[in-house]
Structures are given as C-alpha cells and as structure tokens.
Structure 1
Amino acid sequence: MRVFLARYGIHISKTTVHKYMNKTLNLAVIIMRKKPGYTAGKKHKIFNNLLCQNFTVDHKNKVWCTHFTYMRQPNGRFRYNCTIIDLFYRSAIASVNSDYINTDLAKETLKIALKQEKYPKNLILHSDQGQQFAFWEFVLFCKEQGITQSMSKAGCPYDNAAMERFFNTFKSCFYYRFTFESVEMLYKMTKEYINW
C-alpha cells in the first residue's frame, strides 16, 4: 500500500490509511464466522449421485439442487432456510424459512417450486444425504411427482457445490451485513433477497 501511494507522491502509513477507510469512508471488512468442524453422522444415502459434479445444464427445469442453511434469530435461536435452485439459471425458484429443519420444510419448499414452475416433467432433484431428503414421506412425494432424486456422497460438499456457493453468497452479501430486530424482519428481508 505504501509503495503504491508513494508512486503518486503520497507518503502515509498503512495505519493512517486504515483509519481513513474506517472513520471517513465507513469501510470495514466482513469477517466470516468460523464454521464448526465436520462430524460424520449416520449415512442415509438411498439414491445414486446422478450429477457427479457436472453442474452444466442445457435447459431450465432439468436439474434442481436443494439444501438447508441456518440463521441465528434476534432471540438467539436458530431459524432454518431451505432453498431450491435451477442449475440452468443458478437462481432460486423456491425458498422457505422455518423454526425446524425437517422433512416438512423440504417438502413445502419443493411444493412451492413445482407450483411456480408448473410441475415440470423428467426432473432431477439433487441434494445431500440429509435425513430430511431420505425420509420416506419426502421420497414418496418425489415419486408421485415423477421426480428422480440424486444424492451427494456423504461429507462431500463439492458434490452439491452449486448450493454451497449459493448459500455462501447469500450469507456474505446479505445475512452477515444486517442486524435483524425481529423474526418477522428476518423473514421479510430474506424473502426480498432470495426473490430479487
């Protein structure tokens, strides 16, 4: 930084630049929260991985990806979000928040996506091996809708990288940048961001 500024005849220290950036320009770095270490759980895999890390799709409503993320509420409790993205556009087509991370949340999100996209046929739904996606109620619902399920390898986030990237952007560009005064405000702003 000092070498760069010296080129233009400006001689100030890095500390001074830092002070001006913080106080005058109101610029600050966003520090990502450290993620807890991975703990291997029970494997629930009942479907093969049909994507094999190939996230290129030639038309819409061919492959959807889904996943959960968590957000801390103003009262300290967690709120969970389930989102489905279309790999063709890499954008969300359905997103639902809930106090519980369960099959009902996954199923409700899928119902909204299907209604939004007018019940597409020959659809692949890719997810991780979460028990929410392996539970018989969710599996049966997918079969009834003609949806083929695909699952990542256990403990391998690269197999669902499109969703991991979506939630990374969601948290760094939206969630970590705001303070939410109420659960209602968190819900409203999340919906606005996801549907933007």
Structure 2
Amino acid sequence: MLSLNLLNRDFSAARSNRKWAGDISYVWTQEGWLYLAVILDLHSRRVIGWAVSNRMKRDLAIRALNMAIALRQPSKGCIHHTDRGSQYCSHDYQKILRQRGFQVSMSGTGNCYDNAAVEIFFKTIKAELLWQRSWSTRRDAGLAIFEYINGFYNPRRRHSAPSWKSPLAFEAQAV
C-alpha cells in the first residue's frame, strides 16, 4: 500500500512522537550481508527502534517498529515516514500502523532526499563504526551496532539539528 509524502522534506518536529522516520541499510560481513532497520524520532534524532537480520524481510522492519512503539507508546496521529520498500508496504506492517493510528507517509519513488534524516544516520553509523573495520561475523557487527546506538549515538553523540546535544540530552531538556 503506497501513501503520499506527508513530510515533504520537513524533518523538524516540535515535540517527540510527532514524526518518525525509518529505513533499512546493510553492512558486509565475512558471513554475508547484515541488514539494519531503524526508526528515528525526528524531534531529537534518537534511534527509538532498530533490528538486525541476515535477511531483508518485513519481519526485520516490524521488529524495529515494535521496539519503537513499545518504547514510546505514541498517540494517534504520529507521522510514520519511510521509503516505498516492500517491507514497509507489506500488509503486516501497514496493519500495525493502522491499528496504532499512525499517519502513513512515504518518499517519492527512488528519491533518497525524501528520507534524508535517516540517510544521514546511516552515513554516520557507517563512517564512525561500520566502515572502520572488517566484520568477521554478523553477530560481531550486530553487537557493535547495539553498543554504538545505545552506548554512544543516543546518549553522547551531538547533533547540529537539536541544538548540538545528544538525542537523550535534547529530550531531557525538552521535558
């Protein structure tokens, strides 16, 4: 199921749980590809949901979405923005969004700029972590991603968009 682009490249949000954005990227390991799905809250740029898998299937995206929902319990009307990938268009994914009252938004076909906030996150994690070494196993890469997101990116990495603060510091200040 395809949806209109409700964000129109406006990646700002006045409060948490107003606009979420998600996407999937990948990293090469000696065992093969490891896929990473994330959901960002565009207010603080915090990674609120993420999952890794050796397959890029809808369950990968659903696990990231379910993590974000469990953490945030968003009110109805939160915009959920992704590209038009099959994982995000799947019946199961769309059903969760409808049941939770999300406003569904999707990028234009093949336009990475429509989801630039998440693309910037992927560029950042690749430059600061994933491209810094060769990964022997998917497990090693997955553990490093866990440590990066929870031990560095969310609590300590400063961002220009939210006042040169880390996502967690920005959210704490906003309360």
Identify the residue that residue 167 of structure 1 maps to in structure 2.
122
For 1:74, which of 21, 30, 37 is the aligned residue? 30
Matched pairs, number: 151
Q: 1:130 aligned to 58, 74, 85, which one?
A: 85
Q: Which has the higher contact order (CA 8 A, sep 6+)?
A: 2
Gaps of 5+ in 2: 153-175
Aligned residue for 2:16?
Answer: 60
In the alignment, residue 87 of structure 2 is paired with which amino acid?
Q
Structure 1 residue 136, shift from structure 2 partner: 1.3
Question: Tell me, what secondary structure is at the counterpart of 1:72?
Answer: strand
2:96 corresponds in structure 1 to 141
CA distance in 2: counterparts of 1:127 and 1:183, whole angstroms: 25
State how far apart, in whole Å, the 2-side matches of 1:54 and 1:107 are: 24
The residue number in structure 2 matching 1:8 is none
Residue 51 of structure 1 is matched in structure 2 by 7
| Cα contact 2:22–2:81 (8 A) shared by 1 | yes
Who is 2:172 aligned against? none
State TM-score, norm by structure 1.
Answer: 0.74
Q: Which amino acid aligns with 2:68?
A: A
Which one has the largest radius of gyration?
Answer: 1
TM-score, normalised by the number of residues in structure 2 = 0.82
CA RMSD in angstroms, aligned pairs only: 1.2
Q: Structure 1 residue 110 and structure 2 residue 65: aligned?
A: yes
Deviation at 1:135, TM superposition (A): 1.1
SS in 2 for 1:84: strand
Which runs of 5 or more residues in structure 1 are unaligned? Answer: 1-44
CA deviations 1:57-105 (Å, max 9, x no partner) are: 1000100000000111222x11100000000001211111001111111
